[in-house]
Amino acid sequence: MSNIRVAVGMCVKNAEVTVKEAIEQVIEQDFPHEFMELIVVDGCSRDKTLSIVKDCLDTIDMKSKIFCENKGLGHARQIVVDNARGDYIVWVDGDMVLAKDFVRKQVEFMEENSDVGIAKGKYELRHGPNLLSTLEIYSRAAAKLGDFRHEKARSKSLGTSGCIYRVKAIRQAGGFDKNIKGYGEDWDAEYRTRAAGWSLCICQVRYQDYERLGLTWKELWLRYWKRGYDSYDVLEKHSGIIKLYTMLPPAAFLAGILNSLSVYRLTREKIVFLLPFFYPLKMMFWWFGFISRHLES
């Protein structure tokens, strides 16, 4: 019988600059290593990511597995679900920075809340290496400030990174959709997990994610164009999950005002008042991608 209680799932691609540190963050966790396993799925990286991962796993004191795939993110996530032997999966990206008690606190939270299928840690509110990075960090953190157990949050997505999944819940929901190759695999899985009767929420454990290398305008454009493009298929699959007018730039501007006030109360950073202008910009990029996919269909 396996004594594994939690699997750390890491789906990576072309992350040679940060993946070694991300794995080290997992190794340094204070959760007993004999009860953990690390499952890495490499998306056929074109850089040194896979060799770095193999070198790291050769020396760790916990069970580990490496898989390679080229069918997309939904397929990669499902590989982790299919191979996880414990009760929980903690999702760690290849560029995350974790507190040493990150896994332990998430497991404790799930043990205390048996109705929760998915719980996400909180983004660390901090400055990034440049202005765009800082605004993206604050905007992503602001999007996770609401009560995800509330009915009004059903259209929101926690995102997979920094989350803990109850294995029973994600398997009951049917796992990840292997046909989703890009963004949206988490949104789809969360929607079906809720539909299966499980709660989603935020828990009080912090981590840093993304933007450690400095975000560029081109990267911002590509990120949100791709999100819009990939969201089209998810919204076709789950019609009515959101009202598209809420994604329009005027609505984004209003959301930016409300979120900037929330973040300012937490940080007292005046830079957050740029969020009402940053949000519509991202949504314009999103719409370009969404319309591009619509024209292809």
Domains of the chain as residue ranges with CATH? 6-212 (3.90.550.10), 216-297 (no CATH)
What average pLDDT does this structure show over 258-264? 92
Q: Cα-Cα-Cα-Cα dihedral of 195, 144, 41, 30, to 10°?
A: -110
Q: Do the Cβ atoms of 9 and 84 come closer than 8 Å? A: yes
Residue 1 has pLDDT above 60, yes or no: no
What average pLDDT does this structure show over 267-271? 92
Neighbours of 79 (CB within 10 A): 21
What average pLDDT does this structure show over 212-229? 90
Task: Report the pLDDT value the prediction gives residue 205, as an integer from 0 to 100.
Answer: 84
Average pLDDT value over all residues in the chain: 91
DSSP string, 82-108: HH--SSEEEE--TT-EE-TTHHHHHHH
Residue 150 has pLDDT above 70, yes or no: no
State the pLDDT confidence band at 77, using cuts at 50, 70 and 90.
Answer: very high
pLDDT more than 90, % of the chain: 72
Q: Residue 239: which region, alpha, beta or left (left: phi > 0; alpha: psi -120 to 50)?
A: beta
Residue 163 has pLDDT above 60, yes or no: yes
Decide which of 240 and 105 is more confident. Answer: 105
Task: Report the pLDDT value the prediction gives residue 147, as an integer from 0 to 100.
Answer: 65
pTM of the complete model: 0.91
